[in-house]
Amino acid sequence: MAGNSFGEIFTITTFGESHGGAVGVVVDGCPPGLEISEAEIQAELDRRRPGQSEITTPRKEEDAIHIMSGVFEGFTTGTPIMMVAYNKDTRPGDYEQLKKVFRPSHADYTYLAKYGLRDWRGSGRASARETLGRVAAGAIAMKFLRESLGIEVLSYVEQVGSIQGSVDYEQITREQIDANIARCPDQTAAAKMIDLIRQVQGEGDSIGGIIRGVVRNVQPGLGEPVFDKLHADLGKAMLSINAVKGFEIGLGFGSVHLRGSQHNDPFIPDEGGGVTTRTNNAGGVLGGISTGSTITFRVAFKPVATIAKEQDTVTTEGQPTKLEASGRHDPCVLPRAVPIVDAMAALVIADHVLRDKAQNL
């Protein structure tokens, strides 16, 4: 599959480049009979699209999605769903200076090393524009999960640089997340984040941070032993997103400071006669299988590699040079990455729901 496809039953294959004719996705394995419209998918894409605020890239793309197959009279047919968004605001000339220069910490060098050539117009497949197809597919997965099982998928910006928000992930809502352009539900912290991003943007630099993912109402028992553990697939999904450098489930790296007696989640009976846990340090997954508690994880994003500040680098011929990159880039990817994290989490959960149904009749 050459690394362009994801999933076992609910699968996606993305296609297209940043400054090519279009980007899109083919979704296969979606159950028939799910009511879905372009407008519903567009709502998720509008959260990801460029040019949505002063702290995102100024590239103007409508990201208008077109369903080309797999949906008839407003319902999925069970056949492959192909979706396309045509690129409009392409300016390859903005990237002419990068044609023979490697950007530090970017995929320019590694793509050339792998393929022997590279698309220097806005990074080609290495561009975050590829994630449009993921978000479109994720919109379908989220609706399937919500309507079939009542599963809710959310994510939000928890930290930008050293500024960290503080909210109860069990209580936050989509409305609180989208109430500001930072997509942080802690409104006080969000204002500070926005100021910091503006400052960094004015300096021609970039900054990273952390997004927290939350998946509620997941039934116990999802996930496959050993290699396809639920949190392993979530980790792969998140680490496949551009600029992601770290993933943790539950307390993650914070658990190394605790003893077992402090980290263990005591089992208690729930109101429905089943089992739950008093705490959720495990993040809703034990042994790679969902416990029924809220799944929560964190995703670390590095600062964007393409910046306007002068940096040392080399040409494609290996000669030392200086680079002050032009073009249109996000000073902080996190606000636009929230719907991408949502999408990838939904795709993983939807795939494991269908895998569970295939195994347990």
Dump pLDDT digits (tens) for 111-120.
999 999 888 8
pLDDT at 329 over 90: no
- Sorted by sequence, the CB contacts under 8 Å of residue 56 that are 6+ apart come out as 50, 330, 335, 336
Residue 58: per-residue pLDDT: 64
Residue 159, token pair as written in the block: 């930290």
The percentage of the chain sitting over the pLDDT mark of 70, rounded to a whole number, equals 96
How far apart CA 222 and CA 8 sit, in angstroms, is: 14
Q: Please report which confidence band the pLDDT of residue 328 belongs to, taking 50, 70 and 90 as the band edges.
A: low
Q: DSSP assignment, residue 101?
A: B
Task: Judge contact between 134 and 12, C-beta under 8 A.
Answer: yes
Q: Does residue 359 contact residue 8 with C-beta atoms inside 8 Å? A: no
Q: Closest Cα partner for 267 from 235, 233, 220? A: 220
Instruction: Tell me what the pLDDT averaged over the chain comes to.
Output: 93
Would residue 74 be called left, alpha or beta, if left means φ above 0 and alpha means ψ between -120 and 50 degrees? left
Average pLDDT over residues 194-203: 95
CA–CA distance, 222 with 218 (Å, rounded to integer): 8
Domain 5-359 has CATH 3.60.150.10: yes
Task: Please provide residue 125's backbone torsions phi and psi, each rounded to the nearest 5 degrees.
Answer: -70, -20
- Per residue in 270-296, pLDDT (tens digit) is 988 889 999 999 999 999 999 999 999
Instruction: Reply yes or no on whether the pLDDT at 159 is more than 60.
Output: yes
pLDDT of 93 > 70? The answer is no
List the chain domain ranges: 5-359
Q: Which residue has the tokens 């021609």?
A: 204
Dump strand ranges (E) for the chain.
5-6, 11-16, 22-28, 65-67, 71-72, 75-76, 81-86, 152-160, 163-164, 209-216, 244-249, 267-269, 275-277, 285-286, 289-290, 295-301, 311-314, 320-323
**Taking residues 236-259, what's their average pLDDT?**
97
pLDDT tens digits, 295-315: 999 999 999 998 989 999 999
Average pLDDT of the segment spanning 27-40: 98
pLDDT digits (tens, 9 = 90+) for 46-69: 999 876 777 876 656 688 999 999
What Å distances lie between residue 359 and 230, 349, 351, CA to CA?
15, 15, 12
- Alpha carbon separation from 118 to 27, 96, 121, 304 (Å, rounded): 27, 13, 9, 19
Q: Mean of the pLDDT values across residues 201-209? A: 95
84, exposed or middle or buried, with CB in 10 Å at 0-12, 13-18, 19+? buried
Provide the pLDDT for residue 120: 85
Task: Take residue 317 and report the two structure tokens written for it.
Answer: 């011929």
